[in-house]
Amino acid sequence: MIKFYRGTKEKYQESPSSYKDGLYFTTDTNEILVNEVVYGKNADASVTAEEIVVAGGPLANAIAYWPEDAEWNSGGNRVIPAGTSMQTLTEKLFLKEENGSAEWGNISWNPTLANPSAVLKNNDTNKSDAGSKVEVGTSLIVKTTTSSQVNNNTRSVTCNANPGYFELGTDGKYVYVEGNKTHSHVGNTPDTTGFTVVYTWNNNAISDFASESTTVKVVSGTNTFKVSQSGVNVTTNALADVTVYPTTNTKKMIADSPAVFTDNATEADRTKTNLTSSAQDTITGYYKYFIGQCDALAADGSDITSDIVRGLDKSGEMTTSQISYTATHSSGKGFIVACPATKSIDYIKDDAAVFEGGFSVKTMNVKDAGGDDVSYKVYYCNNTGANAAVYKFFKFK
């Protein structure tokens, strides 16, 4: 015959032999014990029999955050209270539910008119790109593209949600979405009826402009070709109202804290008039110096012409730095050194001797690259000796 007993587990543990071969039903832990062996218990009855001090175990020091409840902290120790169910233990150690956030930011809508292009090109067969510097008077071709296209014409707003948000799905149920919520639409078709393009060269309007046909002439200093576009208007409608809900870190919707967005912008706020854009290309114009031997010259230099000066062997951008150039001045030949009239010779020499004292000077017009007259100082002399002279260094001031 099997005997049945009931009572607390503590009473059973005081004298297990008293219940040998019998079934003992605990009234406090809902367990069935037979000869000190637990044979049955329900899901909620998996509990600690007594208080457990958390120390020294493999996970004891790995748990960074411990419950603050008084019964979980005893005598300066972390403890698991007696009678703690597995459900409670798991939630205490692995779950700390926290509310996330969902907040709408500012509306963004910054339409811009597409930029044109502006390019200066050399006036030659290959139309190669111009360098950063050319001689004054050089003719350049101007090339451009224009556009009335409007970019960034999307009105949008972002809900900054952490870790995500809930929104109403197409099936009428709320669904969780990770990350932020972006709400947007494209603006209306731009009004380009007033679109205007202005072309300028050194701040002067270019009339009858035609890309890759119109030419401009370089002057001294910085030259600028600019293309300016204007006259485009654009509008956008208000964004539709939208509501999302923040979530907890366990992905539960916080239904009592909706994040509601309403576009309260006025029609004026949703209108951009006279969009503009521009592009430019620059190039520097310089005057040249000229150095070289020529045929014998008249004593007063009256036979020196612009063509003779421009045809000399050495030329380059006018500079006040020393120019290293070895030039032979043969017997019976003339020699010319020319610079813009605003400059003058500092010295002409070889390794030691200085020769500028033997040169006469006259002021005359020399053509620039475009055929216009420019006032130059022209230094000249003839070699009447039997031997050739050699010049190595030239400097203007």
pLDDT, one tens digit per residue, over 275-295 is 999 999 999 999 999 999 999
Is pTM beyond 0.85? Reply is no
Report how far residue 176's alpha carbon sits from residue 244's, in angstroms, rounded to the nearest whole number: 10
Please list the residues that pair with 53 across neighbouring strands: 79
From the centroid of its chain, how far is CA 379?
55
pLDDT for 330-343, tens place per residue?
999 999 999 999 99
The answer to which of 100-114, 155-169, 287-301, 339-353 has the lowest mean pLDDT is 339-353
Nearest to 215 by CA among 115, 290, 130: 130
The pLDDT confidence band at residue 44, using thresholds 50, 70 and 90, is: very low
Mean pLDDT computed over 364-384: 97
Rounded mean pLDDT of 215-241? 97
User: Residue 93 pLDDT > 80, yes or no?
Assistant: no
101 contacts: CB under 8 Å, gap ≥ 6: 160, 161, 162, 246
Domain ranges of the chain: 4-94, 112-284, 287-396
Instruction: Provide the 10 A C-beta neighbour count for residue 269.
Output: 13
User: Higher confidence at residue 21 or residue 157?
Assistant: 157
pLDDT given at position 29? 81
